[in-house]
């Protein structure tokens, strides 16, 4: 049986200040970071919160990069932030891990 709805709860937030980008996890998830400092990268799932409108969720095809010279392409075949489901995935380089904070090189999230 396919679920009609899923509930996602944030476990942290993205912070960008003065050229530094950090993922700050809720304190209760700090134990989940153990050993992450031994890896070069981490996959981060995040929500396109600034695109959460009915209009943008109904978009199924776009011109990649917003350039009309690019052929009309399905949103699942490109990196469009407009999509029916606003879950995003970014591979981030881990710079450091301290307590519940992961410093990364960059992320698409804002």
Q: What is the pLDDT along the chain (110 residues), one digit of tens a residue?
A: 677 888 889 999 999 998 899 999 999 999 999 999 999 999 999 988 887 888 888 999 999 999 999 999 999 999 888 888 888 899 999 999 999 999 999 988 76
What domain range is 56 assigned to? 49-85
Say if 5 falls within a structural domain: no
Euclidean distance between CA atoms 87 and 71, whole angstroms? 24
> Phi/psi class of residue 36: alpha, beta or left (left: φ > 0; alpha: ψ in -120 to 50)?
alpha
Query: In total, how many domains does the chain have?
Result: 2
For the whole model, what pTM was predicted? 0.81
Q: Is residue 79 part of a domain?
A: yes
């Amino acid at each position: 049986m396919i679920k009609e709805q899923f509930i996602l709860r944030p476990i942290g937030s993205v912070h960008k200040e003065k050229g530094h980008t950090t993922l700050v996890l809720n304190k209760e998830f700090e134990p989940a970071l153990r050993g992450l400092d031994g890896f070069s990268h981490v996959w981060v799932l995040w929500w396109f919160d600034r695109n959460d409108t009915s209009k943008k969720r109904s978009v199924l095809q776009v011109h990649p990069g917003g350039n009309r010279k690019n052929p009309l392409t399905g949103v699942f075949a490109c990196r469009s932030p407009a999509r029916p489901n606003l879950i995003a995935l970014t591979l981030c380089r881990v710079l450091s891990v301290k307590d519940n904070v992961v410093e990364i090189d960059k992320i698409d999230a804002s």
